[in-house]
Chains A and B, each alone.
Chain A
Amino acid sequence: MSGEALFFLEVVISGLMAGVMYALVALGFVLIFKASGVLNFAQGVLALFAALALYDFIAPGGWVDDLFGFTFPIWAGIILTVGVMIIVAWLIERLVLQHLVQQEPIILFMSTIGLAYILEGVGDMLFGSDVKPLDIGIPQGASDWLLDNYGLYVEKLEVFAALTAAILVIVLAVFFQKTRIGRALRAVADDHQAALSVGVSLRTIWVIVWSVAGMVALVAGIMWGSKSGIQFSLSLIALKALPVLILGGFTSVPGAIIGGLIIGVGEKVAEVYLGPYVGGAIENWFAYVLALVFLFFRPQGLFGERIIERV
């Protein structure tokens, strides 16, 4: 392969991998949106919170180490963090959502903005605000095999993240389409009253969906944390997930992934090949411009449910 083509391929691959990271965050948004019609502004902070909790269970110098003088093995740390996220979900339902049944989506959205700030503050208070390296044994560095045989530079971590995302999407898609709870989730999103009348408990469903979103946030937090350390800017990645959602459609799990990939590749390619002509930093705004174009021509996104409105 010529050097030029190889370089292009590397750019595309690194874009795809960045896209997977965006997609992981976007996935959490989609889950909650599907089940409650709420755009959860706190999803990015949820990922940060999960990563911080995990760090303190397993890392030397973390909370558990400070208090008890030992650290949990990684697998136990992950299970404990899942537990923490379920408790967070339960608290959110108890303290916030329960009081907002049958309210307008915009009110619920505002409440998630508040939630984001509270979680960020609590996270800061509990865990401190310095950048923490997260190492849970995900292979790091370049893949030697690809580098030796094809001269291609690909991060192992990114391949790992891509595989994890793929598995996550398959599991979630089946869960939503084929199971009772999946149907109940969609039913709640559609009409609270009707869902109640067929015996769906709103509270249970909300705890389940926020727990699942918390777990997806944990996966996203682990991947981002392993890549660039756990830091508070993680919560800002949530903003990049918005254009991903506009592309993929707010209600589609596969859409979140494909949207993420398109944005990841798009911004990398644009940065490398168009950057020099417009002074660079395309990466920072490309996603939003693409989203704007989509809003003009296909507001429901690539895979979103068609908006059907009867007059």
Chain B
Amino acid sequence: MSERRNGEVLLSVDKISLAFGGVRALEGVSFDVLEGEIRAIIGPNGAGKSSMLNVINGFYHPQEGSITFKGKTRKQMRPHFVASSGVARTFQNIALFKGMSTLDNIMTGRNTKMKRGILWQALHYGPARNEEIENRGHVEKVIDFLEIQSIRKTPVGRLPYGMQKRVELGRALAAEPELLLLDEPMAGMNVEEKEDMCRFVLDVNEEFGTTIALIEHDMGVVMDISDRVVVLDYGKKIADGTPDEVRANQDVVDAYLGVAHD
């Protein structure tokens, strides 16, 4: 796996601090994500992992620090701009469009790739129609890749949990992101579903070369699939390195085993 770690820096997070009122969610966190790697963010509950993801994708605006993505530095950005610059994500508590079919849900992932104006679309004719067909083709590939052909017309609200997680991954993949953010992609899954999801994550990374940053609680999974791991605890970074380095780090062991903080 080491050869994949030679990529350029795709995303770098610099001294990010985020507070909600008096509660400090993140304090001066810095790390980077290299092109083509799988980067895990781990830490105990409430360590600020999801907040970090929300900062990267523009939901939260940090009070301090900056983010550099593809060489462009920003202090804050609106989420839909982040999406069109090539970042897609999934959510810890699945956020799908429940009334819509699997197909339509994944089609929304193509949103940033479709450019035809509202007038053409209102007419549903000419360029807008061709664009629709073209993008539909891409979505079908995603559906094949994730092996969810059988549920394409089903409203996602009716699907079992594991399937919903998969559809949500599909929607993110449809955007052909350069950086894919996964917030606990395996949470609440059984062993079989976890294995499937692991396989998809690895395949996405290898076949499409997509860079992935993920949050995950299952240590076995994290150590298996990630190239590098950053560990947060109480909003601060306490370790950063390969899975083996992190595993050997005393601070990390303490954080997980609950040694008293002084």
Contacts and interface: CB of A to CB of B under 8 A. Distances in A.
B121 A196 contact: no
Contacts of B109: 198
Given A193-B91, A199-B83, A180 B97 contact: no
Contacts of A183: 100, 104, 107-108, 111
A178 B136 CA distance: 11
A115 interface: no
Contact of B122 (A171, A184, A308): A171
Contact of B118 (A171, A199, A208): A208
**Interface bin, chain A:** 20 to 34
Interface in B86-113: 88-89, 91, 95-100, 104, 107-112
A310 interface: yes
Contacts, number: 100
A193 B95 contact: yes
Count chain B CB atoms within 10 A of each CB in A178, A180, A193, A310 and give the residue with the most: A180
B104 A186 contact: yes
A183 B84 CA distance: 17
A175 B175 contact: no
A183 B128 CA distance: 14
Interface string A185-212: 0110011011111111110000010000
A197 B79 contact: yes
Contact of B89 (A179, A181, A197, A208): A197
A179 B132 CA distance: 7
B96 A191 contact: yes
A198 B83 contact: yes
Count chain B CB atoms within 10 A of each CB in A179, A180, A198, A208 and give the residue with the most: A198
A305 interface: yes
A190 B83 contact: no
A299 interface: no
B187 to A, nearest CB: 16
Contacts of A1: none
Given A193-B59, A196-B59, A308-B155, A187 B124 contact: no
A308 B98 contact: yes
Given A171-B122, A196-B79, A199-B83, A190 B99 contact: yes
B223 to A, nearest CB: 28
Contacts of A308: 98-99, 155, 157-158
A251 B78 CA distance: 29
B171 interface: yes
Closest 6 pairs (CB-CB, A-B): A199-B83, A194-B95, A190-B97, A199-B112, A308-B157, A196-B79
